[in-house]
Amino acid sequence: MPIGITWHTVVLFFGLVAFAPTRLGDLYPHPMPVADYGAAVARITALQSQEDSIVSPGGGSILLTHGHRTARVVVLFHGLTDSPLQYFPFAQRLFDEGDNVFVPRLPHHAERAGHVAAIGRLTARELRDLGDASIDVARALGDTVIVSGLSAGGTVAAWVGQYRTDVQRVVLVAPALEVTHVPSLLHGAVLRIALRVPNVTRASPRDSTEPDREPGWATHAVAQTLKLGVAVRGAAASRSPAVHDLTVLLNGYDRTISNGAAIDLMHKWQQHGASTHLYELPDSLHLPHDVIDPRHPGSNTGAVYPVLDALIAGGKPAEWVGILK
């Protein structure tokens, strides 16, 4: 330990860091809806052109369109360290059923020269902006806007559910609102520390067959995602959600995120009169946290995709899917 720094100083520093209030800043919506279908496609095409120079093959935002406004448009938000390609097979499935589908890329993800440390630059405000911008274009792509997202994408979808009135239905899949292995009572303190101390990363070599993915994690990216979740849960405690048809699909075998935090959010929405539905994929399936990407070891999209189909359509899944209260 450097001269002049004592253990008492270190303890005091971390004590101040842990208990100093987290400033959420402006995480409210700033909608700027696009005028029509042509303008929405042009905006997404321009975004994709910008991404072409920086993203890995297959890692950019995905737009599947029938060439005109459809009855339903579905927006899908992918998870941390992944890319829109995570959702491509499911997006194609929805497209084949007649939907327009938009899968935007999370900021700093799937960069060609990137490293998982670059994802550590991600901020809650950028995630807020992604949610806003995605709905701004989606409402011009279809008559009814449906939103879903996995993990960090589920947190963005939760923000949409709380704040965007121009969305019909939101389906959260294992949303990253709290992580496992941290007791709920300590979650706030741990989050404040993670937001304030230097970013810590753990990276694995990129798989050359999956250049769109960044194996590993970055503490700041996780903390900023959870920060957005804190903002959503705080708002949900005091006011009605903007979207009144809200569903959460949890994974009983999940060892990454806290299912309890998502259940708590649903109860808050319920108390304010929203129509909420809470389901759980059974523990017996031994599914990974990423239940969407068929490339993920242990995935079972043959079981999961029909469940998501039903939930996005506003229906009930198969009877083998658990119903939670």
Residue by residue, DSSP assigns 204-226 as -PPPTT-TT---EEEHHHHHHHH
Residue showing tokens 């503490």: 219
Q: What is the pTM of this model?
A: 0.90
Instruction: Please report, as a single letter, which amino acid is at residue 137.
Output: V
Residue 203: inside a domain, yes or no? yes
Domain membership of residue 81 as a residue range: 25-323
Residue 5: inside a domain, yes or no? no
Residue 158 CB partners (closer than 8 Å, separation 6+)? 170, 172, 175, 177, 229, 232, 265
Below-50 pLDDT ranges, the chain: 1-20
Please tell me the total number of residues recorded for the chain in this structure: 325
Residue 17: inside a domain, yes or no? no
Residue 203 and residue 248: Cα distance in Å, rounded? 30
How many CB atoms neighbour CB 314 within 10 A? Answer: 15
Three-state DSSP at 73 gives strand
pLDDT digits (tens, 9 = 90+) for 291-322: 999 998 899 999 999 999 999 999 999 999 99
pLDDT digits (tens, 9 = 90+) for 203-239: 777 787 888 888 887 888 999 999 999 999 999 999 9
Q: Is 43 in contact with 34 (CB distance < 8 Å)?
A: yes
Residue 80: inside a domain, yes or no? yes
Domain count, the chain: 1
CATH number of the domain that residue 83 is part of? 3.40.50.1820
